[in-house]
Structure 1
Amino acid sequence: MLSRTILLEKKQTGFSCSIQNITEEDLLQQTGDTLIQIQYSSLNYKDALAITNTGPVVRQWPMVPGIDGVGTVIHSNSQQYQIGDNVILNGWGCGETHWGCLSQYTHLKSEWLIPLPTGISTLQAMAIGTAGYTAALCVQRIIEHGITPEQGNILITGATGGVGSVAIMLLTQLGYTITAATSKTNNTDYLQQLGVQHFIDSKTLASAGKPLQKEQWAAAIDVLGSHSLANICAQIQYGGIVTACGLAQGMDFPATVAPFILRGITLAGIDSVMAAYPKRMAAWNFLAKHLNTNQLQHIAQTISLNECPEIAQEIIKGKIKGRFIVDVNR
């Protein structure tokens, strides 16, 4: 068995990204108990950083990128899954410390997997991917905090990205009013199609602001970090919540305690990479219940393994919107 794969290598001659055929023996050297035939993967920002070698994502070499995957179990030493089961992989260090899913086959630990939820196809699962699953975790946290549609607008940064797009779709289905923060003013039609009612230029959040600002948002989902996250916290209504799940602007958080002790706001960190099985299943079942899967065609397009390096460059340059499903057999 040969697996057509994106392989990232670092040698004395430098970094390389190439399409190669790797053997089953190569795959089985990766720690795991379940061999999966991948149907679809996806191309995320973290994958783009790895493929372009523009961020310190890869920690072991050589590496197969791909933090997402959906496919069929063809062998397992675990009693949790049987041959023929369709399963999803999100995170767990795949594409960083363990070979990922931008490959026709992958060898993974069964505890990293979840069964494909009823009502979601394999193609739809990768249109959602880690980005959509992260969005579900954010939306669930906002609901758990007690924020209702009547309390005001929900601000979403990085609105044209994968997390933002799925979050908009979910919140719209649940009756919330959305304000999208985006620098891509030419993509307002795309966002309105998903359900956005209001827009702000994300550049207005990007610089240092006052510790307390006008209360504008009942809650927020932020993928930017840095000054943007600090300003969002300063603008959240009394008792509101900000879910933080990204650092596209930066890892720093130049804020004060003022919004927390004077307005009682909550800053909730959202981790999708190492989340426990029950939380993953709850998020995916939430998606299966509340997401209008017909809308996924508006946010996702399917590409081949060969197209990944070029698209990865465009992702790093911030020139894309939505999601990229990777058909590993094309």
Structure 2
Amino acid sequence: MSTFRAVRIDVQSGAQSADYVEMTEDELMPGDVDLAVLYSAINYKDGLAVTGKAPVVRRFPMIPGVDLAGRVTRSAHAGFAPGDLVVATGCGLGEAHFGGFAQKARLPGEWLVKLPGALTPARAMTIGTAGLTAMFCLFALERHGLSPADGMAVVSGASGGVGSFAVALLAQAGWRVAAITGRPAEADYLRSIGAAEILTREDFSSPGKALQTQRFAAGVDTVGGATLANMLAQTRFDGAIAACGNVGGMDLPASVAPFILRGVSLLGVESVRPRINLRREAWARLATDLDVAMIDAMCEIIPFDQALERARSIVGGKIRGRVVIEMR
């Protein structure tokens, strides 16, 4: 039985730890498709998993990594054959099912999407859950009937993974985008991916009035808390905010005023459930809507040996854009 390297989270006497280990294929979890994992990526949830700062992991031991791209080596699923390049994100990876921080994986075929021809595995992981979530947010705003003609869009947490892709996708779709960031040094980076205006996190992170000056027609919030409340208070009549994150807190210290006096809508977005048809649609559009040079500008590729260290650092807000792990 061949072995492979993985990051594994274990718990002993109530104490959680994460380290590199050697594993065998017979230790993999059930699934009808086997993969050689080529690339993974570091998400905020992976940082929470390896540090234990939030109860992300639902069973032990666990291999973290909510994203992976790989090559099929064995398939009992009609939709895939050995040699296919595929991508998997969410679906409980790194939480309830072994994830991408390993050189091999075994997954249910209904979680997999064939990689669009325009995307390499590394670029697919640069996009990953972050880009997929941002595209789901754009879908939500478009389904709500909003378009660039309605006014400006705003993105919170714009220097992070989801925020960066939200800025890029909105700009590519024709929106004028205001980017909220707590890192002024990232202004040039944000402008390079499409931001037209840079706003400071401090102006949004403290409780504000229930209704404020109307500035935005649409928005993507990755932060939650007071930031989301202030974004809602500054949204125009019949506008909407797509909310997908909570790094600023689970509370929403807001008033009903924006909803009942301006008709503002709060659109919840999640990207964990398989919903394979929606995923195929999103990946197809990501492959055509994002400029290759822009994807590469968001990406830092690191060797597998640095994955644990960098996963821990993302919890401290020390990662800009996307960090992709090369698994070989």
Q: Which amino acid aligns with 1:217?
A: F
Q: 8 Å contact 1:225–1:249 — kept in the other structure?
A: yes
* Pair 1:22-2:14 in alignment: no
Q: CA deviation at 1:225?
A: 0.8
Structure 1 residue aligned with 2:200: 201
What TM-score does the superposition give when structure 1 sets the normalisation length? 0.96
Counterparts of 1:42-53 in structure 2, within 5 Å, are 42-53=41-52
Q: CA deviation at 1:31?
A: 2.3
Structure 1 residue aligned with 2:181: 182
* Pair 1:301-2:264 in alignment: no
What TM-score does the superposition give when structure 2 sets the normalisation length? 0.97
Structure 1 residue aligned with 2:75: 76
Runs of 4+ in 1 over 3 A off after TM superposition: none
Q: CA deviation at 1:204?
A: 1.5
Q: CA deviation at 1:86?
A: 1.1
Separation (CA, whole Å) in 1 of partners of 2:226 and 2:196: 25
Q: CA deviation at 1:147?
A: 1.9
* Pair 1:291-2:290 in alignment: yes
Q: CA deviation at 1:13?
A: 7.9
Partner deviation per Cα, 1:29-85 (whole Å, 9 max, x = no partner): x12111111110001000011112211111111110010001111112211211111
Q: CA deviation at 1:156?
A: 0.3
Q: 8 Å contact 1:169–1:292 — kept in the other structure?
A: no
* Pair 1:151-2:150 in alignment: yes
* Pair 1:34-2:33 in alignment: yes
Q: CA deviation at 1:206?
A: 1.3
Count of aligned residue pairs for this structure pair: 327
Q: CA deviation at 1:143?
A: 2.1
Q: Which amino acid aligns with 2:11?
A: K
Separation (CA, whole Å) in 1 of partners of 2:318 and 2:81: 41
Separation (CA, whole Å) in 1 of partners of 2:169 and 2:291: 8
Q: 8 Å contact 1:215–1:235 — kept in the other structure?
A: yes
Q: 8 Å contact 2:30–2:108 — kept in the other structure?
A: yes
Q: Which amino acid aligns with 1:8?
A: I
Q: Which amino acid aligns with 1:313?
A: R
Structure 2 residue aligned with 1:65: 64
CA change 1:208–1:326 in 2 (3 A) is same
CA change 1:13–1:172 in 2 (3 A) is closer
CA change 1:239–1:275 in 2 (3 A) is farther
Counterparts of 1:82-93 in structure 2, within 5 Å, are 82-93=81-92
Q: 8 Å contact 2:133–2:244 — kept in the other structure?
A: yes
Separation (CA, whole Å) in 2 of partners of 1:80 and 1:313: 36
Q: 8 Å contact 1:52–1:309 — kept in the other structure?
A: no
Structure 1 residue aligned with 2:311: 312
Counterparts of 1:199-278 in structure 2, within 5 Å, are 199-278=198-277
How big is the alpha-carbon RMSD for the aligned residues of Structure 1 and Structure 2?
1.2
Q: CA deviation at 1:275?
A: 4.4
Separation (CA, whole Å) in 1 of partners of 2:81 and 2:325: 25
Q: CA deviation at 1:313?
A: 2.5
Separation (CA, whole Å) in 1 of partners of 2:285 and 2:220: 17
Q: 8 Å contact 1:37–1:74 — kept in the other structure?
A: yes
Partner deviation per Cα, 1:252-298 (whole Å, 9 max, x = no partner): 11222211111111111111011411111111111112111221121
Separation (CA, whole Å) in 2 of partners of 1:11 and 1:229: 38
Structure 1 residue aligned with 2:10: 9
Q: Which amino acid aligns with 2:150?
A: Q
Partner deviation per Cα, 1:112-157 (whole Å, 9 max, x = no partner): 1111112111111001000011011111222222222222111000
Separation (CA, whole Å) in 2 of partners of 1:119 and 1:2: 32
Separation (CA, whole Å) in 2 of partners of 1:133 and 1:20: 30
Q: Gaps spanning 5+ residues in structure 1: where?
A: none
